[in-house]
Amino acid sequence: MPDVISNTTPLLYLHQLGCLDFLPQLYQQVFVPQAVVDELRQGELKGFDVPSLNALAWVGVEAVAPLDLLRVTGGLDFGERETIALALAKTDPLLVLDDAAARAYAQTLGIRLTGTLGVLVQAKQSGLITAIRPCLDQLDKLGFYLGAHVRATILSRAGESP
């Protein structure tokens, strides 16, 4: 099982979908850098519905080495930079990341990726949910950007008709 590292948005959206428990069921443990903890804390202070990571035994917070952080481009937000830097310190990690620019950059570094949608597809394939379409509908209501082509692709991967 690879080390799984998550950025803020997958944790936030899976929590708001009521699907955060999929992460430990699929991956056992998930690591986050301090920047993700800080971003969620800021969201909580602004009144957003965010998960409380300290209440989740399966989440490990890890420090990012300054040298690893220097290896990551400055064009990303701090949470994405620390998440990618933490992945760089691991052997064959799986990075859970949604932001398109951050995903493209992580791919250039050879980091394996999934995102909120990938977790939902894997949950469907593992029998944790029976249908992914209601999750996609709810994500749309939550403001998750989901183009028609991506929606059709995800439904197809999940074995549901577009």
| Domain-located, residue 135 | no
* Residue 46: pLDDT band with limits 50, 70, 90: very high
* Statement: residue 104 has pLDDT above 90: yes
| Domain-located, residue 21 | yes
| Domain-located, residue 138 | no
- Give the span between the Cα atoms of 56 and 4, in whole angstroms: 15
* Statement: residue 73 has pLDDT above 90: no
- Give the span between the Cα atoms of 131 and 117, in whole angstroms: 13
| Domain-located, residue 134 | no
| Domain-located, residue 17 | yes
- Residue by residue, what is the 3-state secondary structure of 42-84? HHHHCCCCCCCHHHCCCEEEECCCHHHHHCCCCCCCHHHHHHH
Per residue in 111-130, pLDDT (tens digit) is 999 999 999 999 999 999 99
The pTM of this model reads 0.94
* Residue 1: pLDDT band with limits 50, 70, 90: confident
* Residue 105: pLDDT band with limits 50, 70, 90: very high
Q: Which domain holds residue 42?
A: 4-126
Here the tokens at position 132 are 């992914």
| Domain-located, residue 162 | no
Q: What is the CA radius of gyration of the chain?
A: 15
* Statement: residue 86 has pLDDT above 90: yes
Could you give the number of structural domains in the chain? 1
CB atoms within 10 A of CB 85: 21
CATH label of the domain that carries residue 29: 3.40.50.1010
Q: How many helices and strands, by DSSP H and E, does the chain display?
A: 9, 5
Pair 48, 14: CB distance under 8 Å: no
